[in-house]
Structure 1
Amino acid sequence: MAGNQRRRAARTSNKKGAVVGSGGQRRKQLKGRGPTPRAEDRTGHPAARRAARADKAAAPRGGRRSGGGGKASTEVVAGRNSVLEALRTGVPGTALHVGTRMESDDRVKESIALATEAGIPVMESPRGELDRMTDGAVHQGLALAVPPYEYAHPDDLLGQQLSGTPLVVALDGITDPRNLGAIVRSAGAFGAHGVLVPARRSAGMTAAAWKTSAGAAARVPVAQATNLTRALEAYRKAGFFVVGLDADGDVSLPGLDLADQPLVVVVGSEGKGLSRLVRETCDQVVSIPMAAVTESLNAGIATAVTLYEIARLRARR
């Protein structure tokens, strides 16, 4: 009979829901999922993509023995004019990506010819792939993948196996890669043995720096230091004199008596000049005489003038 049913447990559910134990399901359903993630941490969110691009731009580029560490990443030169200029100036590439079904012009044909001559693989890539590689930049169906630059170690520039009196250019707060490329080019033209850059708050050897160096980056080593002040102190202990370049220098460039000695020429940023610790590390602070007080030179031009004058003074002695 209905009233004589002997069940050890009541019904688990009816139209109104569970009668006895829910097996902990309700507790799981009520468990919070934690705070809402920031927009920068949400995959696919525009803020997350912007943050990723900013991290990529700020990350130190480098390879073996780089003072700043960091994960190396491949860069991409996008656009027909930019790719052609990069290939003409000898920027190393790992692959030239050419869009499918696009109208080619002389720039595309010359880029393919230069890449083939340099042994760079030429790959046909769909537009979507090019968009992804270039992060949405205007690529015009042409993109060149550039490998991370392999920095030298600061000790490699000490000059034990270098010909002539050692000469090193150190950069303090130079953040424009085009200025860095121009300085590397001047270093190669006037006999400097290398360029030293800090690992942080400094321009790195990007594709833009490679292009501006006009191929000199393949001949002039660029070293990366974790701490610029300590690296300069190490050079001093090794027998170098450290000369800072600043508009308020105590010594005029033509009167540089240390020109024939092993030198490190430190170049500060155009806006802030030399940082306090770097300035205190210098043996002398040198200025370039100019006709007008209000005139100034950017870091690349100032370095070229200084290196030329040092080369001239060394030739006379």
Structure 2
Amino acid sequence: MKPGILYGFHAVTVRLKTAPESVLEVHVDATRRDARMRGFVERAQAAGAKIVDSDDARLAKLCGGRGHQGVVARVQALAPKHSLDDVLDEADGPPLVLVLDGVTDPHNLGACLRVADGAGAHAVVAPRDHAVGLNATVAKVASGAAETVPYLMVTNLARTLGDLKERDIRVIGTSDDAEQTLYDLDLTGPVALVLGAEGPGMRQLTRKTCDQLVRIPMNGAVESLNVSVAAAVCLYEALRQRQHGRA
């Protein structure tokens, strides 16, 4: 597979922990000698990574921007570890899946993956078309979660939602015009939470495929939340109910 780029302390550290053999080399800012950088270099060396001293211009060129924190790694792409069926078969407890319909911004996807990891979601699912794939920006924003949460891009999202329903997983979509709120639902069982892109929301076919629609209560002046914030609200409500009961 073609080598790729990871940057930022969290993203590179997680790859060094989970798949050190895939790290081809790690470029670090030669002018940084602070404790955080020293500790990172020690961990990278202990993992067997090749360390390359670089300057800010070289690091920015490698990752395509200035948010590298002084750390950029050239890595071998990893083969997908799971299919959705594998993830669901191996799920510990009732499946919790986040479905993103039409999210094209890598910062939003990275934030959604980070939230999904924190809330214990088993997978994030998106369509192959009209969605962003995993890239260096996603990995940086996800702070390592791009390595730990299966991100599964499917050819036909409506069909995949149908497959989830056949597994007795309730497919719950979010919509500003829904009558019920998120807090009216019992989320302790198998659930797939579907969120659309900010602005257009879910596509009509996706909306029609959902078992039911809910809204997040909005009591202020703004009409909606950023998709990653909405994902956090939904996933952590599911986590709260699963840990402490619905009440």
TM-score over 0.5 for the alignment?
A: yes
Query: Following TM superposition, by how much is the alpha carbon of 1:247 offset from its aligned partner in structure 2, in angstroms?
Result: 1.9
| Residue from 142, 145, 167 that aligns with 1:213 | 142
Following TM superposition, the consecutive aligned residue runs of length 4 or more in structure 1 with deviations greater than 6 angstroms are 124-127, 135-142
Give the partner amino acid of 1:264: A
Q: Tell whether 2:219 aligns with 1:291.
A: yes
User: For the residues of structure 2 that align with 1:91 and 1:202, how far apart are their CA atoms?
Assistant: 24
In our comparison, the structure showing a higher alpha carbon Rg is 1
User: For the residues of structure 2 that align with 1:135 and 1:210, how far apart are their CA atoms?
Assistant: 11
Equivalent residues in 2 for 1:170-209 (5 A)? 170-209=99-138
User: For the residues of structure 2 that align with 1:179 and 1:217, how far apart are their CA atoms?
Assistant: 12
SS at match of 1:144: strand
- For normalisation by structure 1, the TM-score amounts to 0.64
| Residue from 93, 98, 101 that aligns with 1:164 | 93
User: For the residues of structure 1 that align with 2:105 and 2:181, how far apart are their CA atoms?
Assistant: 26
- For normalisation by structure 2, the TM-score amounts to 0.79
User: For the residues of structure 1 that align with 2:65 and 2:236, how far apart are their CA atoms?
Assistant: 39
Q: Tell whether 2:81 aligns with 1:154.
A: no
Q: For structure 2, which runs of at least 5 residues remain unmatched after alignment? A: 17-21
User: For the residues of structure 2 that align with 1:146 and 1:205, how far apart are their CA atoms?
Assistant: 14
User: For the residues of structure 2 that align with 1:269 and 1:287, how far apart are their CA atoms?
Assistant: 14
Check the 8 A contact 2:124/2:152 in 1, yes or no: yes
| 126 and 233 in structure 1: CA distance in 2 versus 1, 3 angstrom threshold | same
Query: Following TM superposition, by how much is the alpha carbon of 1:287 offset from its aligned partner in structure 2, in angstroms?
Result: 0.7
Equivalent residues in 2 for 1:113-124 (5 A)? 113-123=42-52
- Over the matched positions of the two proteins, sequence identity in percent amounts to 35
Q: For structure 1, which runs of at least 5 residues remain unmatched after alignment? A: 1-71
Query: Following TM superposition, by how much is the alpha carbon of 1:313 offset from its aligned partner in structure 2, in angstroms?
Result: 2.7
Q: Kindly provide the CA deviation profile for residues 120-159 of structure 1, in whole angstroms up to 9, marking residues without a partner as x.
A: 22347899xx69x8398678997421333543322223x3
| 172 and 149 in structure 1: CA distance in 2 versus 1, 3 angstrom threshold | farther
Check the 8 A contact 2:12/2:144 in 1, yes or no: no
Name the Cα RMSD after superposition. Answer: 3.3
Query: Following TM superposition, by how much is the alpha carbon of 1:286 offset from its aligned partner in structure 2, in angstroms?
Result: 1.2
SS at match of 1:233: helix
SS at match of 2:178: coil
Check the 8 A contact 1:96/1:144 in 2, yes or no: yes
Q: Tell whether 2:5 aligns with 1:76.
A: yes
- Between 1 and 2, higher relative CO (CA 8 Å, sep ≥ 6) is seen in 2
Q: Kindly provide the CA deviation profile for residues 70-92 of structure 1, in whole angstroms up to 9, marking residues without a partner as x.
A: xx543224xxxx5445435x245
Q: Which residue of 2 aligns with 1:87?
A: 12
